[in-house]
Structure 1
Amino acid sequence: MKIVISSGKGGTGKTFIATNIARVLDESGYPVRYLDCDVEEPNGHLFLKPDIVKEETVSLLSPTGVDENRCIACGRCVEVCHYNAIAMIKEKVLFFKNLCHVCGACTLVCPVDAVIEEDRRIGVVKHGKSGTIDFHYALLETAEGGMSPRLIRKVKQCTGKGIHILDSPPGTACPVVETVKDADLCVLVTDPTPFGIHDLKLAVNMCRQIGREPVVLVNRAEYHNEDLRDYCRGESLEIVAEIPDDRKIAECYSVGDLAVDRFPEYRALFTDIAGKIVSMARKGGQPARKSVTVEHSADPVLIGENSNQPLESRRAEKTHEYVIISGKGGTGKTSLAAAFCALEKRIAIADCDVDAADLHLLLQPEIKKRGVFSGSDTAVIDPDRCTGCGECERQCRFDAILQTEYSGRKVFKVDEIACEGCGVCGLACPEGAVICSPAWNGEWFVSDTRFGPMSHARLGPAEENSGKLVTLVRQKKDEAAFEAGLNEAVVDGSPGTGCPVIASLSGAEYAVVVTEPTVSGVHDLRRILDVVRFFRVPAGIVVNKWDLNKEKTEEIHAIAGEYEAEFLGRIPYDKVITLAQVKGVSVVEYSDGPVTQAVREVWGKIVRRKS
């Protein structure tokens, strides 16, 4: 039995829910396996504290360069790479490891076998025990964001008997789909805030698109209106439980303890929740309702060698960017980004959190331009032309080709969920049976806000290439800034350490890393600071909700020194940020209290730095 605990956005409490459920199921006598599939920022081990008994390095055979004695500089490898990971300059082929998805297209088409492949470490899988709970999790290597789905597959191979609790990555992109696609039950954790509701809608649509009808668990259930309940009723989504907004839970979480171990009332609540979801999973859940389809009438924006971007779009000078990022979701980076925009009053803005964009909920943009985005191909195999030779299956490195039957004979088809749009199957097919066409991966927007022009986007449910879409958003921001006569920008980056974060950071002027004083906040802070240091971007650190755990705040202050990052300041725990969110404004527009004063001081340090 596989029960996935997921969420449309980070910071809703999915790991808090997953770990406490695992504990009560284990103590109720069930055999439990905990699979932490959030490989960018795994946190379950911080709470269940397993004894690790084995570590397993995960490597892939990856192109690293060419044999110059063989290479004839034909350029075929550059032509077929969908990820812009290969370039040819003065008849010399260059490989960019951090862009490569290890699809094998370059190796397949090279007429002289000049491409050199070597083992590339993408992460490590750790195996252990937390009491009688079997515990398995993985850590993705720094700057290896595109490898997340493959590392998740390795974690999911650690199955056995009993109940499997899968702690999913947040969002709706490929890593989440890889985790959720074969679940017996998917529990979506949300909170009754505008951000939580918006991102829940995206997650529900993703689940339905891959044939999984989710249920909803409401964490921090302090309702300011009926929007969440109305949405769930309208979509026939069952709310399986509500957990109160209780500060003592946050304080318990901050030190790495489980609520069920500390508080009898929460042990009883989680025992009821666990029993309910196990019963639902045994029944296999409800049939998935139809997902919402977004119709597109415009031609897609193509990215890469066959780009259809007009030349004039490349004239705009690059803005000086202040990128707001976080190692984990829910730290308050979007609220802080909106506040910075309000304090600056006139600045270019980009929301690069394309997987779960929320900044528009506070800035209320008026859309001026929009278009669709294609960063990969959609592959379809024509069964009438397929001879069943299996060459497409042998060459696909994503396990996205499936054998089936058509008119009584063996043929192959593409698994749309597993396919990453690399086009290798089309290159491999000797019969020309594979039809590749530009995929519709998402939608981009350029808008006006009360603080300046804004570029933003929406990645389609279960889509890939969020890194490419982030690059497009930054490009559109530069164009809008050029037209408005602005040379600085606030960028709301993605949480985590994957492709969209890397695409947000590259070439940035300064990174503002938002964290919280919890065991998971500290763990994930180090992970994102490793990425920032890898790309040599100067950084500063802000601690949100600093008074939840003053000892952890001091630890973060020390970490700033360790990484040579500036300690920008501390923001107190205050529900005024949520109240501002409900009103659709930034906290500095809503209140002039301690939070606003702290944010002003942080932005003041950044302003003084840029002057």
Structure 2
Amino acid sequence: MYDIAIGSGKGGTGKTFIATNLAVIFQEIIQEKIKYLDCDVEGANGHLFFDGNRKNEKIIIKSVRGIDYDKCILCGDCVKACQYNALAKVGGEILYFNELCHTCGACGLVCQQEAIIEGDREIGEIINQTGKIDLFYGNLKTGESGMSPRLINKVKEKAGQGINIYDAPPGTTCPVVETFKGSDLALLVTDPTPFGLNDLKLAVKMTRKLGLEPVVIVNRATYKDTKLKEYCQKEDLKIVGEIPDRRELAEIYSNGELAVEKSQEYKEIFKNIANNIINHLEPVETKELVVVSGKGGTGKTSVTASLAALAENIVVADCDVDAADLHLLLNPDIQSEGAFSGGNLAEIDQTKCTGCGLCYQACRFSAIIKDGEHYSVDPLSCEGCGVCDIVCQDGEVFLKEAVNGRWFTSKTRFGLMAHAELGIAEENSGKLVTLVKDKARELANKKNNQINIIDGSPGTGCPVTASLTGADYALIVTEPSVSGIHDLARVIDLIKFLEIPAGILVNKADINYIKSKEIEELAVKEGIDFFGELPYDEDVVVAQTEALTIIEYRPDSQVSKVLFEVWKKINNIIKSD
């Protein structure tokens, strides 16, 4: 079902206290056996809180056991191959240091004389303790500290099909990494102290390097300052639970007892934490709201930003890649970026070109430049069709992957954001729109966000179709003008063709009440939701100059009040769908 790794940046935070109590509560909630796997093989103590029968299993691996000096010619190849300094050439002898050996086998591979002796090596044992909880823990043999990851792997092999709780060693070293690898969830335990915050930061870096987005439990949650919560907010870390700072809990732990079995209050605290974890793990279906307009200048982006300000648990995507400007209001902090290639670009190898001119004659986009007897490609005109490559008889034309733009994922004050920038005179904006939407979905899946709000491209072309594809709802922002109604009809046709439920919002409705009424009548005729009218308000532009939405700048304005009601209605429609 789920593999949950529980760790902390340092010892003493209450990691095992939380892991053992959660194990009992998870088993009660899901009504089936869970497995508690104590991967702190150098100091396992989770088993001390449970009774049960124990069965030991020795763990033996293949390893270097020494050097056959009758075969060794002292070439030193094994010493050079060993990355862990487990072999050394001293005088006329090769020395082997067992405690430094990582059992990789490199020395045996390079030894032409077959002088490396391999054999069985006992690195520790795994104990299975059966009782209330099905529990496995490792005991590393003294002097075998380098074998911790190997023994941890053996412990993890005992995982079952239900919930598996991995109690990791403290810190961020190799054994900790080995424990967290492949987990479904990284659960980090900290406390609101300078030490706890510092070590949490290290643990967060470690888990993110493994591709895991962690959640946090705060133990001894008496806050002397706001630094821990500020850090979690800044890093977008979800706090799934807080354990109170009480002497009674320390006394219960010191007696080898479980808090959930001593007090109904503590049982409820851990139940809430367990349910928060399960809710976090269970995938949430992300709904997509796309804001479009039949033409530019209707206020589409301003409305999108305002809805983002009103919403919670969302990802924002700017799919107006030809002229993206949502970032001007959201001020994104870029977290990752990459190049976008939507096609090819032709290039002529001047060292091979014979000047025959066939490519010049065949190109229908005037992308081949003729300069006397020399030919070259105009990158702004080239469509990447490959005709020049086909007609070239000398192999001097080749196609290379074109870089048409860049994509970004960012943090904003309203949540995560996916956006992009298409290069000047570049094509395939539809492909880039699809990429932006894919990035938004990845962000939503990672954070279990419920709604993606997408600022679609204006018009009715390919980028708009790409923006709308897969949407759960479309909000059309229009204006009461002749051109506004004309272009509204076109985008309605597209939305109906794609079979997407939609609604209309009239911006600056009071500049022409007659046309606004026509738009409302059109909505009724087409069976489309009508969300009302936004009045003309100069403060919307003033807010833009401050890089703010009207919701933030003037929450008491009529525009803000209407947008609030619009969002309530759309949110209810999407969630009930």
Task: Please give the TM-score of this superposition, normalised by the length of structure 1.
Answer: 0.46
Structure whose CA Rg is larger: 2
